[in-house]
Structure 1
């Protein structure tokens, strides 16, 4: 029976060795993340053969896609917390009802998201100050991807539900299949059929469609830990309201976060598409190496949700703390590797001296802060959201991007200096503080501001985590 599968995994999550359980849950997720990043790197590799402009197109439009999809991700996060906590509390029938309500809500919501995405696309690209060279490529890519948003939402819901139940293997198997399809289809659509950037987007859409269909079939077959039926898939407005109540802060936070990257893209493009191309390649390389850390964080989220549901708060805190140490060490190793092999790796993707020169600044001023972001900030925000305290994760995310990253990147990238007037012993003293001038009024200042935002946000997140105000479950007591 499905409940027996859930019960077995629940016992390990609540009582088993923390590191071993983290590894069991994280293993498939790490593989999935690595496979996903391999696809992104493959995509970058093929598009790089078309030139700098084509290579920059996916990275340019993903902040727009993410802004709208983040709304769905916020509700998926809420559904994940409810399902995981119901399982932790051994309320399996409610877990199934919650899963069905979440899935049906995501299908309805995604259709509206796709329409809105297509409508705002031209305005968003102009707002981001996308250069004329990149604009046609970015627009062509985005139009195809937006059409497949409902498919992406469906698979997003499927993956969240499987993880909440402790099943991290099934979504990974499907992801490996779809990514494999994507890797094979990319060169066919891009070069053989001559569709260029649009071909890469079509390959993504078709692969996502296969994943969504398989995921839906598994959830409705009765063979998975959770079982969706016509009854559980019926609109449940009472539960919708609960998802909105818990999920809205997360949705708003993630959307604001994604829109912040739209603004940040505008800031980076202020120094041209060479700088943005360097930023795109470098971050994708780091994503490849830090996939292990992200897998650990996702596995930790499952353990947090179920332990909070069972009111094992001390264990939940220990799980998060150990995840912080593991992720910090992994991310630090990632930065060292990228730093050592930066130039030869870049030449594989784009043998452009100007882009390679810019990559040094991305590494020196920004990427050194990644261990604090992955090791502390990501773990804390996922801990808060998995416990159902989405307002806390929303505040942290908005603080990092809107309160720190965007202002600091702009100030150190574009504001030459500021003047301060002070009265000392009755005499007025003027002090000139150089800002962007420290970095030669160049892209260095932008990346320095981005790095500082990660250091400061990690500090705030850690202090809030230690207060322990997140250690309270959100499901009803009865």
Structure 2
């Protein structure tokens, strides 16, 4: 996307019809998310052929991976907010400088992250109480993925910068290429088909890293060539402590919040594993289904983020609020429709992944106590946190994210799953007893966390304290 196209897109984002512009930006992201979900489903399908333990390995590993990856996502969020608001304000020179600072920072930071993550991996798996059957598979998968973290971080930065400029198509095209590579390589490297070695679970991770590396290199080439609208040069990529400090100031709350969130899922994994491999296998399949449900909603939220950032940069605050409200309605309806479909076809859907009667039986609890809360999570909570972060108010999104997981989900999942009863003012209140001390209570707590977090998020959004920009006042270039 060249400078002229960025300017034209800016005009549409600031002045065009909200729904039409939102869907124009969202549809490439929706396609990309659906393709990514297709890969995740394919990955789960092939690993399921190796057994329950192999299927659980990625799901077990990702909370650890996500804890460290979230640090990069936090800084990418800050870069997105700065670049988007500078473009909204018409200051393209500062947008390029912010883009270069983000990209070089991610290069440095990702290398350190990869080394740290490899060092702490065994301790994290033991902390999660991963069963001996799953442990070697989870460790093999995570080790390979951690080695490829620099590629993941730099492609993450590229995607954020393109979305900030209003170009949602270019990163999607590259993502579709990388996902296609992943889908093709998965069975070849897992089972050793033809000339390829049989690497099992590690093969799935190697396929992921090779695909991410391809996307990262293509993205770097586009940014440095100037064909992406934003142009990274030696000057903009040179370490710039002023921009680094600004990205850290805005990005650190988001990074801390997302990392704490991801670490929370490490703790949640420990809670779920308390009921054994069967329960965790049901949860792993559920997360794949939730990803499918939310793929469209995430695309709408990401497109909304671009519109929010540029409208905040142009000080069009009421329009930004209307954009967020329209996104809430759209996402709630999408997620509700998807849950209804999964509810109608629950058993055959779960059997596609793992035809295990015990896992199928647990899937009923997942649907009844957890999945019904997903529309509130995607329709309200996700939209509000994306609105806050796109406006550059990352402390607000951090607080909300940590409240949902650490304030609601983890305590409620543990209490309803493991605590038989509590006494309040002399009155005995049954908690886990309501669910017969079974996984039902864990999934009930997870569902309740989504309902409560959505209520808090909507109240905070309605106050309007996020409706101010973070960029400094400067003359337009």
Task: Give the TM-score category using the shorter length.
Answer: over 0.9
Measure how far apart 1:431 and its partner are: 1.5
* 1:375 equivalent in alignment to 2:379: yes
Deviates more, 1:190-199 or 1:1-10: 1-10
2:424 partner SS:
strand
Measure how far apart 1:371 and its partner are: 0.3
Residue in structure 1 matched with residue 466 of structure 2 by the alignment? 470
* 1:211 equivalent in alignment to 2:215: yes
* 1:92 equivalent in alignment to 2:92: yes
- Determine the C-alpha separation between the residues in 1 that align with 2:329 and 2:208: 35
1:306-455 aligned at under 5 Å gives the runs: 306-421=310-425, 430-455=426-451
Residue in structure 1 matched with residue 122 of structure 2 by the alignment? 122
Measure how far apart 1:2 and its partner are: 3.0
| Contact 1:25–1:166 (Cα < 8 Å) also in 2 | yes
Residue in structure 2 matched with residue 427 of structure 1 by the alignment? none
Measure how far apart 1:317 and its partner are: 0.1
1:290 partner SS:
helix
1:187-226 aligned at under 5 Å gives the runs: 187-192=187-192, 193-226=197-230
- Determine the C-alpha separation between the residues in 2 that align with 1:235 and 1:444: 51
How many residues get paired?
470
- Determine the C-alpha separation between the residues in 1 that align with 2:263 and 2:290: 22
Q: Which runs of 4+ in 1 moved over 3 A?
A: none
| Contact 1:409–1:445 (Cα < 8 Å) also in 2 | yes
Out of 276, 291, 297, the position equivalent to 2:295 is 291
| Contact 1:289–1:334 (Cα < 8 Å) also in 2 | yes
1:179-258 aligned at under 5 Å gives the runs: 179-192=179-192, 193-258=197-262
Q: Which runs of 5+ in 2 are unaligned?
A: none
Measure how far apart 1:3 and its partner are: 2.3
| Contact 1:286–1:338 (Cα < 8 Å) also in 2 | no
Measure how far apart 1:194 and its partner are: 1.6
Measure how far apart 1:211 and its partner are: 0.4
- Determine the C-alpha separation between the residues in 1 that align with 2:201 and 2:171: 27
* 1:113 equivalent in alignment to 2:117: no
Q: Deviations over 1:363-393 (max 9, x none)?
A: 1001100000000000000000000000000
What TM-score do you get using the length of structure 1 for normalisation?
0.98
Residue in structure 2 matched with residue 304 of structure 1 by the alignment? 308
- Determine the C-alpha separation between the residues in 1 that align with 2:265 and 2:294: 20
Residue in structure 2 matched with residue 5 of structure 1 by the alignment? 5
| Contact 1:286–1:334 (Cα < 8 Å) also in 2 | no
Measure how far apart 1:440 and its partner are: 0.2
Measure how far apart 1:225 and its partner are: 1.4
1:311 partner SS:
coil
Measure how far apart 1:346 and its partner are: 1.2
Residue in structure 2 matched with residue 263 of structure 1 by the alignment? 267
Measure how far apart 1:58 and its partner are: 0.3
What TM-score do you get using the length of structure 2 for normalisation?
0.98
Q: Deviations over 1:213-240 (max 9, x none)?
A: 0000000111111010111000010000
- Determine the C-alpha separation between the residues in 1 that align with 2:412 and 2:298: 26
- Determine the C-alpha separation between the residues in 2 that align with 1:249 and 1:283: 26
Deviates more, 1:1-10 or 1:49-58: 1-10
Q: Deviations over 1:376-411 (max 9, x none)?
A: 000000000000000000000000000100000000
- Determine the C-alpha separation between the residues in 1 that align with 2:293 and 2:416: 28
- Determine the C-alpha separation between the residues in 1 that align with 2:108 and 2:283: 35
CA RMSD of aligned residues (A): 0.8
Residue in structure 2 matched with residue 153 of structure 1 by the alignment? 153
Q: Deviations over 1:159-195 (max 9, x none)?
A: 0000000000000000000000000000000002221
Q: Deviations over 1:7-29 (max 9, x none)?
A: 00000000000000001100100
1:419 partner SS:
strand
* 1:24 equivalent in alignment to 2:29: no
